[in-house]
Structures are given as structure tokens and as C-alpha cells.
């Protein structure tokens, strides 16, 4: 009987099948509970002489295992053939990967940075967590200024004050701390204000600060630089106007409007029928600021400007709600290239 089983083991090894029916037939022939060859050999077990029982058992178990291994193997082969033969159309083009796109804030920031680097400005960055000196006192904010209030500023610690910077003007101070004029620098970054979130305000946003300090820098230089920027950013036909304003760190101070890029200055609902859009604050660096940062205001003058990147991106791309920038909705983000 042992010799017969060995023969069957060889037979199993050689067996080939090309359909599931053939495999099933093969399985039944050996393993069926009723009349399967393996089952029948097992029922012979009691008649096997004692001294052969061990070898008989081992060889029969091997036959049983070989059969089930073979069945699994053949099924596997057939399955993979099925996939190739029936469902794959090898002439189809490959599936493409989705490539991400830049965030509109990054696109706008890069464009602004590009324009000013062409004029010789270099990038400088400062920390988002700042102290009072860099955000307020070295920028000539009087002690009772409302921006120093908890309602406008996120404080981390009080006395000495550690806070989240409310504007990138703080980087002006960092640069003046470390460099002597001539200074021509641009500082993009995130800023934080304690504001209720709405379509028009957010507690986190982005600004770009510009600072130019040298001998004989005048308001005319500031105006010409900003005109160049406006034309590069919004088109050759763009006009600018400067309105008197107030910032503690500049004197005189101004706010700059551009002619409405949507209606060309005729008046529409974006410019509220004025023909003008406000885009930045600017001015001549207050001599107090130069002096409190160790720069002799009798020798040097300078100008500064600061703008919100969200605002510029809104005008460029026609975005109406600030919150969209921070919601990570791919339907929004994938529209910008
Ligand atoms: N820091 C101002 C703000 O957050 C913007 C600004 C205005 C920056 C005038 C300047 C400037 O450098 O000269 O509203």
C-alpha cells in the first residue's frame, strides 16, 4: 500500500489543469469524504501491521497535504491568468497622477517677492512669536496704543510681554538690529490678530513688509517704487493714488490705492463704485524709529510699506471670502496654477 501511495504522490506532482472544473474533479478524486482516495487509505489504517503504521501515516499525510497544496496552487494560477486574459486592456493609456498646485497665497507672495527682488530687495524673515520691543516700542507705538490691547493682540505672556506678532513690521526692527544701512529688504510672513473670523477678517493672515534705508531716500522714491510694483502686479494701465494716513512708525504716512483692476476705474461693486482699491500702507520711516534702532536720522532716511497678501490675492483671483484660504478645500485650491 505504501508503494501505491508513493505512486499517487508522483501523479499529484505531475497533474496539470486548465479549468476550475478539472481542479475540482482532481480535489474530489483525492479528498472527497465519500470515496476519495486519501479518505479510503485512512480507513485502511487499522489493517496496517503495527510496525508499518508510522511510515504509512506519514506518507499518507504527505499525499493529503500535496493534494491540497496543488489545488490551491492551480487555483491561484488560474485566477492570475483570468485577470490578464479578461479584464486588462493593455492598449489603454496609463493612469496619471494628480499633481498638487500651489496655494494662492504662495503664488501671490512669490509674485510680489519676484517684483521687488528685481529692484534689489533681499528677503529677511523674523519670528512669529515676538516681544513688545520688536512689535511695538521700537516702532514708536505709544504705551496706550490700542494695538497693545488684549482685544487686538494674542499675548503668550504678560510682563515682560511675549506675543504673536500683529504685523511683519517687527522684522524691520530685527533687520535694523543686525544691519547697517544701506538696507533694502522685504519680509513676508504670517501675522496674528485677535479678530472674529468672517469673510473679511481672520485671526491669521499674511503680510509683506518692505524697508529701504539709505542716504537721500525720498518720498518720490517710495512713490515710484510702488507705482512700478502696482503696474507689474496688476497690469501696465494701473494707476495709483496715495492718501494721507497715520502709522506710528512712519511720518508722513499714506495709504495706497490702485485703480480698480476689474472695472478699470469706472466703478463696480468690488471697488464700491469708487474706482479705487486700497492695497497697502506706507510712509517715510519715522526718525524716532531710526534712532531707537541705532541709525543716525541726520544721515539716513528711509521708506517702508506693508501689505496684506490675502487682499492682493483676492483682487488678483477674484476671491470673495477670506476663510477659503484656510479651509484646505481641494475644489478651491486646485483652481490656481
Ligand atoms: N504694519 C501695518 C499694518 O499691519 C502696515 C504698514 C503700514 C507697514 C505702513 C508699513 C508702513 O511698513 O509703512 O497695518
Residue nearest to atom 5 of ligand 1 (CA): 306
Per the document, the length of the chain is: 337
Separation of 209 CA from ligand 1 center, angstroms?
7
Separation of 275 CA from ligand 1 center, angstroms?
23
Structure confidence at residue 46 as a pLDDT band (50, 70, 90): confident
Residue 112 phi, psi dihedral angles, 5° rounding:
-65, -45
Sheet order of strands, 162-164 included: 129-131, 162-164, 155-157
Domain boundaries defined on the chain: 2-82, 104-336
Residue nearest to atom 7 of ligand 1 (CA): 281
Which pLDDT tens digit goes with each residue over 138-183? 999 998 888 788 779 999 999 899 999 999 999 999 999 999 999 9
Structure confidence at residue 90 as a pLDDT band (50, 70, 90): confident
Helix, coil or strand: residue 258 = strand
Which pLDDT tens digit goes with each residue over 92-144? 888 888 888 999 999 999 999 999 999 999 999 999 999 999 999 999 999 88
Pocket test for ligand 1, best of 190, 191, 209, 217 (most atoms within 8 A of CB): 209
Q: What integer pLDDT is reported at residue 85 of this predicted model?
A: 57
Separation of 244 CA from ligand 1 center, angstroms?
13
Cell 468690488 belongs to residue: 270
Q: What integer pLDDT is reported at residue 267 of this predicted model?
A: 87
Pocket of ligand 1 from Cβ distances under 6 Å: 167, 169, 209, 247, 250, 281-283, 304-306
Which pLDDT tens digit goes with each residue over 242-296? 999 999 999 999 999 999 988 888 888 888 899 999 999 999 999 999 999 999 9
Tell me, which fold does domain 104-336 have in CATH? BirA Bifunctional Protein; domain 2 (3.30.930)
Rounded CA-CA distance 73/75 in Å is: 5
Residue nearest to atom 13 of ligand 1 (CA): 282
Helix (H) or strand (E) holding 184: strand 183-192
Amino acid at each position: 500500500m505504501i508503494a501505491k501511495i508513493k505512486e499517487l504522490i508522483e501523479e499529484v506532482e505531475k497533474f496539470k489543469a486548465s479549468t476550475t472544473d478539472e481542479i475540482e474533479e482532481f480535489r474530489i478524486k483525492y479528498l472527497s469524504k465519500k470515496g476519495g482516495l486519501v479518505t479510503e487509505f485512512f480507513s485502511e489504517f487499522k489493517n496496517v501491521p503495527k510496525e508499518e503504521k508510522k511510515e504509512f501515516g506519514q506518507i499518507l499525510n504527505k499525499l493529503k497535504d500535496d493534494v491540497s497544496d496543488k489545488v490551491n496552487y492551480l487555483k491561484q494560477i488560474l485566477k492570475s491568468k483570468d485577470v490578464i486574459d479578461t479584464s486588462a486592456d493593455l492598449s489603454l493609456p496609463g493612469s496619471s497622477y494628480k499633481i498638487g498646485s500651489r496655494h494662492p497665497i504662495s503664488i501671490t507672495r512669490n509674485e510680489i517677492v519676484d517684483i521687488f527682488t528685481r529692484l534689489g530687495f533681499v528677503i529677511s524673515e523674523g519670528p512669529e512669536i515676538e516681544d513688545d520691543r520688536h512689535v511695538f516700542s521700537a516702532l514708536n507705538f505709544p504705551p496706550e496704543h490700542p494695538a497693545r490691547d488684549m482685544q487686538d493682540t494674542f499675548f503668550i505672556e504678560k510682563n515682560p510681554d511675549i506675543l504673536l506678532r500683529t504685523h511683519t513690521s517687527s522684522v524691520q526692527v530685527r533687520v535694523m538690529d543686525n544691519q547697517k544701512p544701506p538696507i533694502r529688504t522685504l519680509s513676508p510672513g504670517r501675522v496674528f490678530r485677535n479678530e472674529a473670523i468672517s469673510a473679511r477678517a481672520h485671526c491669521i493672515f499674511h503680510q509683506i513688509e518692505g524697508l529701504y534705508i539709505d542716504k537721500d531716500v525720498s518720498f518720490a522714491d517710495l512713490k515710484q517704487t510702488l507705482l512700478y510694483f502696482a503696474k507689474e502686479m496688476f497690469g501696465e494701465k494701473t494707476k495709483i493714488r496715495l492718501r494721507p494716513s497715520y502709522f506710528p512708525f512712519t511720518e508722513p504716512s499714506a495709504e495706497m490705492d490702485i485703480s480698480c483692476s476689474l472695472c478699470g476705474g469706472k466703478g463696480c461693486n468690488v471697488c464700491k463704485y469708487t474706482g479705487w482699491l486700497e492695497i497697502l500702507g506706507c510712509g517715510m520711516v519715522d526718525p524716532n524709529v531710526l534712532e531707537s534702532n541705532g541709525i543716525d536720522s541726520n544721515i539716513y532716511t528711509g521708506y517702508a510699506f506693508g501689505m496684506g497678501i490675502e487682499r492682493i490675492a483676492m483682487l488678483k483671483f477674484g476671491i470673495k471670502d477670506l476663510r477659503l484660504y484656510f479651509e484646505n478645500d481641494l475644489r478651491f485650491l486646485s483652481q490656481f496654477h
